[in-house]
């Protein structure tokens, strides 16, 4: 499990694994800029429930998305131990609030399985694949693009 | 980007300035009391455009500029009288020249029909005077983009160049081959190498160069251009440039021999450029020399000097890409924030009273402020460039409608942010056209109403209480309110019989889908109405207002923030959130007495203040921080006024401070939030939202607002 940090080769990719409501998730390392501790946010009026607010990231205004709320686990009560993963997608920067970052893993494409058809779970929408490990652990791969809030009027 | 592209870009940038000069000059010539120098200046500007265009082979531009210039020369020599008819042609020629430059810049096909038509008119003017009086060749004079200081004869001349590098040349990394190649680019060459001094191998001493070259060059380039090739090596070689006398025997050729010591002085600008980019300069001069229009300048000396001197004075400016300035601006924003953070930390640590810390911090703050102001000054540009363009728009609009119109501008020097300048052009164009088309009556009606036949459109700008105010007004018939009302009712924009104040009726013009002219004219009324103008101005953080008096005219007033980067704000507290309210909107703040508060119905509340009833809006409700408005006697009321003179009292929990804040876009990474215009970063590093009072007041006339706001938010 504790693979050495390898460069992306064909059929392999690195991902950051994190925990959320006792489930393991991961996100492609390519889009992660940094990981920060939780700090209080500025609340945005009329924002969807999963938008935690905005923080100051060295001078730019970055939206923080509460992954737990977004994936349907209910809003989290962030403490100092919570982390914000700063990710970038197509020029837009977003912070993802997670419980804790657990690992950096190398995933080979062979291990990625399609998401089973579970009826209408909100999380299903944002997970692009399941990664199985020999020790029985399972990582759910988050699709950042689907996760991003497009605008305040976006249906939650 | 290739060197050539870079030069082209410089040429176009310079063209913009020159064309602006032409337009200004021509306007001065409109009045009868102009100075002779004005005509000279216009002539020189057109000429410079031509010179540059010739160097880049832009033949359409060259031929047009040439005719234009010929007419100007006739005016200059008093052969043609600048009467209004002639001036009209000149104005249109200047517009056409600008179009041709624009077409060349975008590499698109120019409007040939228009060009031909004007060329015809210009030719007719030239025909008035015998053209032969003007010797065409005399007029050519090379002053395009400072790079070409050639006075090349059109007939190729032959030179013999003897070039023998000494050891220093090799030591400094120069390569004779490159130099010879450069010569080859200037024209036909015949190169012989002198190997006489090459010793036998056993006596070889590699520290002493032994080779020399004799180049026979046949070129149209000038001696100076040839000398330029050797510019960097002149000190470390033996160099002889001999002009070979043509067969016919032109005895008086002064450029017989130039030793490397007494180089003729090249004008400073050209030299500077050449020093930095040897190769580039070379390409250009070569290109210029080959161009079929490569000019001779027999007697253009005086003009040349005059232009040079004016160019030298303008060479104190540099062109910097806007990105760099923006980056600098961002960093300064950071600096201001960091400074605020630092002072807060010092405060908490309890050092704030230490005189040295206090003084140091104070000067740091001052410095940060100064730097910020300087950078903003870099971005600030006079509105002149926009106003200049409007002259042309007006002329075209007047032509299209057949009305006689004059444009009066004032306050052109008012400076606004660069980005705003660019984005003001479209709305202003639209408003000017609107004024000519809809605002002004035709000459007959005007005469009947006892007004001067010529209508006037006034474009003015001024700084007003921290904002820039631009006014477009006409002395036309004013808004026909009955008609406006009727149209609005017909189009279903308002309910029939609704009570509207005159100002409200005027504002109907800004509604989308409102166009009062029944027939669509070619000019305005193409479906894009004043609503587009308003939207564009609002996107700049500005407002548009309209006022009109029947029979006297209409005035549009645009107010804009000075900068899009910083604003002066009042820091307020709402439910433990800090927010910023732009100070420009704030009229007064007060802690209301119970007696001045009156409820209306179940939830509406008003404040009676200075004999006026003002609706109270609880910002906490607006932003969804609390369900029910807090009790009226709690907190503070801030009376704000919108640009449309609507007032409201914002109820907030507390007011902290007033300070400059750096505007950060919220839309970049998130999206629009109703009632919020942007965000900023406070001294403690936290983000505060900047309230848009205008939007809040307009979208909620009382405390019933929240539902409305929420509706827009989730819709």
Burial bucket for residue B424 (CB in 10 Å: 0-12, 13-18, 19+) = buried
Per-residue confidence (pLDDT) for residue B671, from 0 to 100? 77
Can you tell me the distance from the alpha carbon of B502 to that of B508, in angstroms, rounded to the nearest whole number?
10
Residue that wins the pLDDT comparison between B137 and B644 = B644
Per-residue confidence (pLDDT) for residue A120, from 0 to 100? 64
Strand pairing class (B455-464; B405-410):
parallel
Span B48-62, mean pLDDT?
82
Is the pLDDT at B260 greater than 50? The verdict is no
How much of chain B exceeds pLDDT 70, in percent? 79
What is the phi/psi pair of residue B188, to 5°? -75, 140
Per-residue confidence (pLDDT) for residue A16, from 0 to 100? 92
Which SS3 state, helix, strand or coil, does residue B217 take?
Answer: strand
Per-residue confidence (pLDDT) for residue A86, from 0 to 100? 93
Instruction: Among A55, A152, A153, select the one facing B687 at the smallest CB separation.
Output: A55
Q: Where are the domains of chain A?
A: 12-144
Can you tell me the distance from the alpha carbon of B48 to that of B394, in angstroms, rounded to the nearest whole number?
27
CA distance A35 to chain B (A): 18
State which of B51-55, B426-430, B592-596 shows the largest mean pLDDT.
Answer: B426-430
Mutation choice for A interface testing from B335, B687, B708, B714 by most A CBs within 10 A: B687
How much of chain B exceeds pLDDT 90, in percent? 2
| Residue B161: pLDDT band with limits 50, 70, 90 | confident
Partners of residue B623 in chain A, C-beta under 8 Å: 45-46
- Least confident stretch, B80-94, B109-123, B289-303, B378-392: B289-303
Residue that wins the pLDDT comparison between B138 and B380 = B380
- Give the residues across from B652 on adjacent strands: B636
Can you tell me the distance from the alpha carbon of B559 to that of B251, in angstroms, rounded to the nearest whole number?
71
Per-residue confidence (pLDDT) for residue A3, from 0 to 100? 43
Number of A to B CB contacts under 8 A, please give it. 87
Per-residue confidence (pLDDT) for residue B271, from 0 to 100? 42
Indicate yes or no: CB of B664 within 8 angstroms of CB of A59.
yes
Per-residue confidence (pLDDT) for residue B7, from 0 to 100? 78
Is the pLDDT at B551 greater than 50? The verdict is yes
User: Quick one: which of B13, B81, B24 has its CA closest to B48?
Assistant: B13
B542 CB neighbour count, 10 Å cutoff: 23
CB A89 within 8 A of CB A149: no
- Give the residues across from A24 on adjacent strands: A19
Strand pairing class (B577-582; B687-691):
parallel
Indicate yes or no: CB of B673 within 8 angstroms of CB of A44.
yes
Task: Scan residues 630-689 of B and list those with Cβ closer than 8 Å to A.
Answer: 664-666, 668-676, 679, 681, 685-689
Which SS3 state, helix, strand or coil, does residue A78 take?
Answer: coil
Per-residue confidence (pLDDT) for residue A96, from 0 to 100? 92
CB B258 within 8 A of CB B124: no
DSSP string spanning B519-566? SPPSSS-SS--HHHHHHHHHHTT-EEEEEEETTTEEEEEEEEES-SSE
Is the pLDDT at B40 greater than 50? The verdict is yes
* Averaged pLDDT score across all residues of chain A: 80
Can you tell me the distance from the alpha carbon of B370 to that of B297, in angstroms, rounded to the nearest whole number?
49
Indicate yes or no: CB of B689 within 8 angstroms of CB of A59.
no
Span A7-28, mean pLDDT?
81
The tokens for B355 are: 């005189």
Q: What is the CA radius of gyration of chain A?
A: 15
Is the pLDDT at A11 greater than 60? The verdict is yes
Span B438-461, mean pLDDT?
86
Residue A101 CA from chain centroid, whole number: 10
Indicate yes or no: CB of A46 within 8 angstroms of CB of B714.
yes
Residue B385 CA from chain centroid, whole number: 6
Instruction: Among A43, A56, A63, select the one facing B670 at the smallest CB separation.
Output: A63
State which of A22-36, B100-114, B227-241 shows the largest mean pLDDT.
Answer: A22-36
Which SS3 state, helix, strand or coil, does residue A34 take?
Answer: strand
Per-residue confidence (pLDDT) for residue B2, from 0 to 100? 58
| Residue B249: pLDDT band with limits 50, 70, 90 | very low
| Residue B273: pLDDT band with limits 50, 70, 90 | very low
Burial bucket for residue B56 (CB in 10 Å: 0-12, 13-18, 19+) = buried
Residue that wins the pLDDT comparison between B700 and B496 = B496
Run of H or E including A84: strand A83-89
| Residue B633: pLDDT band with limits 50, 70, 90 | low
Residue A63 CA from chain centroid, whole number: 13
Q: Which residues, other chains included, contact B486 with Cβ-Cβ below 8 Å and sequence gap of 6+?
A: none
Span A70-84, mean pLDDT?
86
Instruction: Among A46, A61, A93, select the one facing B713 at the smallest CB separation.
Output: A46
Is the pLDDT at B713 greater than 60? The verdict is no
Per-residue confidence (pLDDT) for residue B448, from 0 to 100? 85
State which of A28-42, B284-298, B330-344 shows the largest mean pLDDT.
Answer: A28-42
Indicate yes or no: CB of B622 within 8 angstroms of CB of A45.
yes
Per-residue confidence (pLDDT) for residue B367, from 0 to 100? 87
Can you tell me the distance from the alpha carbon of B236 to that of B213, in angstroms, rounded to the nearest whole number?
15
Is the pLDDT at B534 greater than 70? The verdict is yes
Can you tell me the distance from the alpha carbon of A124 to that of A116, in angstroms, rounded to the nearest whole number?
9
Q: What CATH number is given for A12-144 in this structure?
A: 2.40.50.180
Run of H or E including B651: strand B647-652
Indicate yes or no: CB of A45 within 8 angstroms of CB of B688.
no
Partners of residue A44 in chain B, C-beta under 8 Å: 670, 673, 676, 689
Can you tell me the distance from the alpha carbon of B189 to that of B183, in angstroms, rounded to the nearest whole number?
8
Span B660-688, mean pLDDT?
80
- Quote the strand ranges of B166-236, DSSP E: 187-194, 212-219
Can you tell me the distance from the alpha carbon of B264 to that of B227, in angstroms, rounded to the nearest whole number?
9
Instruction: Among B330, B669, B689, select the one facing A92 at the smallest CB separation.
Output: B669
Which SS3 state, helix, strand or coil, does residue B332 take?
Answer: helix
Can you tell me the distance from the alpha carbon of B157 to that of B343, in angstroms, rounded to the nearest whole number?
73
Indicate yes or no: CB of A40 within 8 angstroms of CB of B686.
yes
Number of H helices, E strands in chain A: 2, 11
Can you tell me the distance from the alpha carbon of A125 to that of B292, in angstroms, rounded to the nearest whole number?
68
Per-residue confidence (pLDDT) for residue B465, from 0 to 100? 67
* Averaged pLDDT score across all residues of chain B: 75
Per-residue confidence (pLDDT) for residue B460, from 0 to 100? 92
- Least confident stretch, A13-17, A28-32, B2-6, B147-151: B147-151
Strand pairing class (B604-609; B612-618):
antiparallel
Indicate yes or no: CB of B681 within 8 angstroms of CB of A45.
no
Which residues on chain A place their C-beta less than 8 Å from a C-beta of chain B? Answer: 40-47, 51, 54-56, 58-63, 92-94, 149-153
Is the pLDDT at B57 greater than 60? The verdict is yes
Per-residue confidence (pLDDT) for residue B250, from 0 to 100? 43
Per-residue confidence (pLDDT) for residue B443, from 0 to 100? 82
Per-residue confidence (pLDDT) for residue A40, from 0 to 100? 87
Residue that wins the pLDDT comparison between B208 and B299 = B208
Distances (CA, A) of B35 to B39, B45, B73: 8, 16, 15
Q: Which residues, other chains included, contact A33 with Cβ-Cβ below 8 Å and sequence gap of 6+?
A: A86, A87, A88, A93
Run of H or E including A20: strand A12-20
State which of B83-87, B463-467, B637-641 shows the largest mean pLDDT.
Answer: B637-641
- Least confident stretch, B53-57, B253-257, B580-584: B253-257
| Residue A35: pLDDT band with limits 50, 70, 90 | very high
- Give the residues across from B407 on adjacent strands: B457
> Closest residue of A to B708, CA-based?
A46
Per-residue confidence (pLDDT) for residue A6, from 0 to 100? 44
The string of pLDDT tens digits covering residues A84-142 is 999 988 778 899 999 889 888 888 888 888 887 766 667 777 888 888 888 888 888 88
Is the pLDDT at B305 greater than 50? The verdict is no
Can you tell me the distance from the alpha carbon of A78 to that of A135, in angstroms, rounded to the nearest whole number?
30
Indicate yes or no: CB of A152 within 8 angstroms of CB of B688.
no
Burial bucket for residue B136 (CB in 10 Å: 0-12, 13-18, 19+) = exposed
What is the phi/psi pair of residue B690, to 5°? -95, 125
Secondary structure string (H, E, C) spanning B529-541: CHHHHHHHHHHCC
Per-residue confidence (pLDDT) for residue B464, from 0 to 100? 77
Strand pairing class (A60-66; A92-98):
parallel
Span B73-88, mean pLDDT?
80
Partners of residue B677 in chain A, C-beta under 8 Å: none
């Amino acid at each position: 499990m504790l693979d050495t940090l390898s460069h992306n080769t064909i059929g392999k990719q690195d991902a950051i694994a994190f925990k959320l409501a006792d489930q393991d998730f991961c996100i492609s390392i390519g889009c992660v800029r940094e990981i920060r501790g939780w700090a209080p946010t500025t609340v945005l009026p009329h924002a969807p429930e999963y938008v935690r607010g905005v923080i100051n990231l060295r001078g730019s205004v970055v939206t923080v998305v509460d992954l737990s709320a977004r994936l349907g686990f209910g809003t989290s009560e962030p403490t100092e131990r919570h982390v914000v993963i700063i990710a970038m997608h197509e020029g837009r920067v977003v912070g993802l609030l997670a419980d804790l970052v657990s690992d950096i893993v190398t995933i080979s494409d062979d291990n990625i399985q399609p998401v089973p058809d579970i009826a209408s779970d909100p999380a299903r929408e944002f997970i692009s694949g399941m990664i199985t490990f020999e020790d029985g652990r399972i990582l759910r791969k988050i699709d950042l693009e689907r996760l991003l809030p497009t605008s305040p009027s976006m249906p939650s | 980007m290739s060197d050539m592209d870079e030069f082209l870009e410089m040429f176009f940038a310079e063209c913009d300035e020159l064309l602006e000069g032409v337009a200004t000059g021509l306007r001065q010539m409109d009045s009868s009391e102009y100075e002779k120098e004005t005509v000279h200046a216009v002539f020189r500007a057109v000429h410079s455009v031509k010179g540059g265009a010739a160097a880049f082979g832009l033949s359409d531009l060259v031929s047009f500029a040439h005719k234009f210039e010929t007419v100007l020369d006739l005016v200059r020599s008093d052969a043609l009288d600048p009467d209004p008819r002639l001036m009209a042609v000149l104005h249109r020629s200047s517009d056409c020249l600008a179009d041709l430059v624009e077409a060349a810049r975008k590499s698109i096909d120019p409007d040939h029909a228009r060009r031909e038509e004007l060329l015809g008119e210009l030719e007719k003017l030239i025909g008035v005077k015998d053209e032969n009086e003007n010797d065409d060749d005399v007029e050519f004079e090379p002053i395009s983009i400072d790079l070409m200081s050639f006075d090349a004869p059109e007939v190729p001349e032959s030179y013999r160049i003897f070039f023998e590098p000494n050891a220093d040349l090799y030591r400094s990394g120069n390569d004779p081959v490159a130099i010879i190649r450069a010569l080859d680019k200037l024209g036909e060459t015949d190169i012989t190498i002198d190997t006489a001094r090459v010793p036998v191998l056993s006596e070889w001493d590699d520290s002493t160069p032994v080779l020399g070259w004799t180049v026979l060059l046949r070129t149209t380039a000038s001696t100076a251009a040839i000398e330029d090739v050797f510019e960097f090596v002149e000190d470390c070689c033996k160099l002889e440039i001999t002009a070979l006398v043509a067969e016919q025997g032109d005895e008086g050729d002064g450029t017989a021999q130039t030793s490397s010591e007494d180089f003729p002085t090249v004008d400073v600008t050209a030299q500077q450029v050449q020093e930095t980019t040897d190769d580039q300069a070379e390409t250009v001069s070569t290109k210029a020399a080959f161009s079929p229009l490569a000019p001779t300048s027999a007697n253009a000396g005086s003009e040349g000097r005059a232009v040079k001197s004016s160019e030298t004075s303008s060479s104190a400016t540099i062109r910097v890409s806007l990105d760099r300035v923006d980056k600098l601006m961002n960093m300064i924003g950071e600096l201001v924030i960091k400074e605020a953070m630092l002072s807060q930390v010092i405060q908490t640590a309890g050092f704030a009273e230490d005189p040295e810390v206090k003084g140091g911090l104070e000067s740091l703050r001052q410095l940060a402020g100064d730097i910020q102001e300087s950078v903003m000054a870099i971005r600030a540009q006079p509105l002149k460039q926009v106003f200049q363009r409007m002259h042309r728009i007006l002329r075209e609009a007047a032509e299209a409608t057949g009305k006689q119109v004059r444009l009066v501008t004032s306050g052109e020097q008012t400076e606004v942010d660069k980005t705003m300048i660019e984005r003001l052009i479209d709305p202003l164009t639209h408003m000017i056209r609107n004024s000519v088309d809809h605002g002004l009556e035709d000459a007959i009606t005007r005469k009947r109403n006892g007004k001067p036949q010529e209508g006037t459109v006034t474009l003015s700008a001024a700084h007003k209480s921290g904002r820039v105010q631009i006014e477009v007004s006409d002395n036309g018939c004013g808004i026909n309110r009955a008609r406006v009302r009727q149209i609005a009712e017909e189009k279903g924009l308002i309910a029939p019989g609704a009570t509207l104040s005159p100002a409200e009726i005027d504002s109907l013009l800004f509604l989308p889908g409102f166009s009062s002219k029944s027939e669509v004219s070619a000019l305005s009324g193409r479906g894009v109405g004043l609503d587009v103008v308003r939207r564009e101005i609002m996107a700049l953080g500005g407002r548009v207002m309209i006022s009109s008096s029947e029979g006297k005219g209409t005035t549009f007033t645009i107010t804009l923030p000075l900068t899009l980067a910083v604003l002066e704000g009042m820091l307020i507290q709402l439910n433990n959130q800090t927010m910023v309210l732009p100070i420009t909107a704030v009229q007064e703040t007060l802690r209301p007495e119970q007696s001045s508060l009156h409820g209306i119905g179940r939830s509406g509340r008003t404040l009676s203040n200075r004999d006026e009833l003002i609706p109270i809006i609880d910002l906490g409700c607006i932003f969804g921080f609390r369900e029910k408005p807090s009790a009226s006697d709690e907190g503070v009321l801030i009376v704000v006024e919108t640009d449309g003179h609507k007032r409201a009292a914002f109820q907030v929990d507390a007011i902290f401070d007033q300070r400059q804040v750096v505007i950060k876009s919220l839309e970049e990474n998130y999206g629009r939030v109703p009632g919020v215009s942007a965000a900023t970063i406070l001294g403690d590093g936290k983000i505060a939202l900047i309230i848009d009072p205008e939007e809040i007041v307009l979208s909620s006339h009382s405390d019933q607002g929240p539902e409305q706001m929420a509706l827009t938010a989730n819709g």
